[in-house]
């Protein structure tokens, strides 16, 4: 009965989503990002709570000292989120197995990180990023180089979850429910497929599941998932972001990969990852999701 009710409840949502997707299909590919960004900037004024959170986060992180400049960055970041999602929906119709390298700019990135991500695909790695840049589009592109496993929130409704698994723009990526954790089956799949385990580690962690360490100058409860996995397996972590520089053009920013010894403390490991992510965000602040409650 519960599954039946969930199926019934999903019908209006799926119908509305299908209609929206049909209309969105009419938008030219190169217009997807600007159309989404304009819509996001328009919506900015109607979310005063999120607007206050974003401006406060920008000021307290020291990215801007002037409230007016912080408000400008927050408004642009609202637009970037919507624009990024809209462009990511068009990525499968633009990027394919023969041209995906043309859409990635790795000039200036760590050569070691580039090799691990795109060339030395005979070993599993960990990819740590944040809600920064084009995390959805990048997952799709990287799946042409190596298998991808992403820790993410899944849909509660089974019908919606099945539809998303089949049609989602992330491409051929294995999505793992973040509430399940690393089961032995997931670890075996990661190792056997030589995949990149992708973790967005800039979300607020419950006290029992994280450590409180510095993130962009302020203490923040931080997940230790990537640190624990790297310390246990010895696998390297590539830390950084893909930022948008032009239509369907994405640039890798970040330093050399990091490795952790088995006895690394969770606090020290989390500090290293937070510092890397913070540096990337400061370089491209208008592409960060400032409106989420990272610091609580």
Closest CA to 117 of 130, 100, 132: 100
Nearest to 229 by CA among 274, 267, 187: 187
- The predicted pLDDT at position 2 comes to 54
pLDDT at 262 over 50: yes
Tokens, residue 143 = 């799946």
pLDDT tens digits for range 90-126: 998 999 999 999 999 999 899 999 999 999 999 999 9
Helices 2-24, 158-167: crossing angle, 10 deg rounding: 40
Residue 175: the pLDDT is: 79
Residue 14, pLDDT score: 44
What is the Cα–Cα distance from 136 to 12, expressed in whole angstroms? Answer: 25
User: Does pLDDT of 157 surpass 70?
Assistant: no
Q: Mean pLDDT score of the chain, rounded to an integer?
A: 88
Is residue 5 over pLDDT 80?
A: no
Q: Identify which has the larger pLDDT, 264 or 1.
A: 264
Report pLDDT digits (tens) over 187-237. Answer: 999 999 999 999 999 999 998 889 999 999 999 999 999 999 999 999 999
95: alpha, beta or left? (left if phi > 0; alpha if psi -120 to 50): beta
Can you tell me the distance from the alpha carbon of 160 to that of 154, in angstroms, rounded to the nearest whole number?
9
Q: Give the residue, 187 or 169, on which the prediction is more confident.
A: 187
3-state secondary structure of 10: helix
Strand partners, 200: 129
Higher pLDDT, 19 or 82: 82
Give the model confidence (pLDDT) of 50-63 as tens digits: 999 999 999 999 99
Residue 46, pLDDT score: 96
DSSP H helical segments within 168-284, as ranges? 184-192, 225-233, 266-283
Specify whether the CB–CB gap between 204 and 96 falls below 8 A. no
User: Cα dist. 190→170, 182, 183, 287 in Å?
Assistant: 18, 10, 11, 29
Q: For the residues 2-20, what does the mean pLDDT come to?
A: 51
| pLDDT of 11 strictly over 80 | no
pLDDT of residue 140: 87
Nearest to 240 by CA among 123, 105, 145, 100: 105
Higher-pLDDT residue of 181 and 269 is 269
235-258 pLDDT, tens digit each: 999 999 999 999 999 999 989 999
* Predicted pLDDT of residue 163: 54
Residue 127 Cα distances to 196, 198, 235, angstroms:
6, 5, 10
CB 289 within 8 A of CB 249: no
Q: How far apart are CA 205 and CA 272, in angstroms?
A: 17
Q: Which pLDDT band, with edges at 50, 70 and 90, does 158 fall under? A: low
pLDDT attached to residue 154? 57
Exposed e or buried b per residue across 221-230, where buried means at least 16 C-beta atoms within 10 angstroms of its C-beta: bbbbbbbebb
The pLDDT of residue 236: 97
Percentage of the chain modeled with pLDDT above 70: 83
Q: Does the pLDDT at position 13 exceed 50? A: no
Cα separation, 74 vs 289, whole angstroms? 8
Q: Could you give the C-alpha distances from 213 to 6, 197, 293, in angstroms and in order?
A: 40, 23, 16
């Amino acid at each position: 009965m519960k599954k039946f009710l969930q199926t019934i409840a999903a019908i209006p949502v799926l119908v509305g989503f299908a209609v929206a997707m049909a209309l969105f299909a009419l938008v030219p590919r190169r217009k997807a990002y600007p159309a989404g960004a304009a819509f996001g900037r328009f919506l900015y004024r109607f979310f005063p709570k999120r607007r206050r959170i974003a401006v406060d986060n920008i000021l307290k992180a020291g990215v801007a000292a002037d409230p007016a400049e912080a408000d400008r960055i927050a408004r642009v970041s609202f637009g970037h989120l919507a624009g990024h999602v809209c462009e990511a929906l068009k990525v499968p119709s633009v990027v394919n197995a023969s041209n995906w390298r043309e859409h990635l700019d790795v000039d200036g990135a760590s050569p070691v990180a580039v090799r691990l991500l795109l060339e030395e695909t005979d070993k599993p790695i960990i990819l740590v990023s944040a809600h920064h840049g084009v995390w959805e589009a990048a997952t799709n592109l990287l799946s042409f180089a190596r298998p991808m496993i992403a820790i993410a929130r899944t849909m509660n409704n089974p019908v919606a979850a099945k539809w998303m698994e089949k049609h989602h723009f992330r491409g051929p990526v294995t999505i793992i429910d973040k509430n399940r954790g690393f089961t032995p089956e997931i670890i075996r799949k990661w190792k056997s497929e030589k995949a990149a385990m992708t973790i967005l580690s800039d979300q607020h962690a419950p006290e029992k599941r994280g450590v409180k360490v510095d993130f962009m100058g302020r203490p923040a409860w931080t997940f230790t998932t990537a640190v624990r996995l790297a310390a246990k397996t010895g696998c390297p972590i590539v830390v950084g972001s893909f930022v948008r520089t032009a239509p369907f053009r994405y640039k890798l920013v970040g330093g050399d990969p990091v490795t952790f010894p088995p006895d690394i403390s969770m606090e020290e490991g989390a500090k290293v990852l937070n510092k890397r992510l913070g540096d990337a965000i400061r370089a491209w602040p208008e592409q960060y999701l400032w409106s989420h409650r990272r610091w609580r």
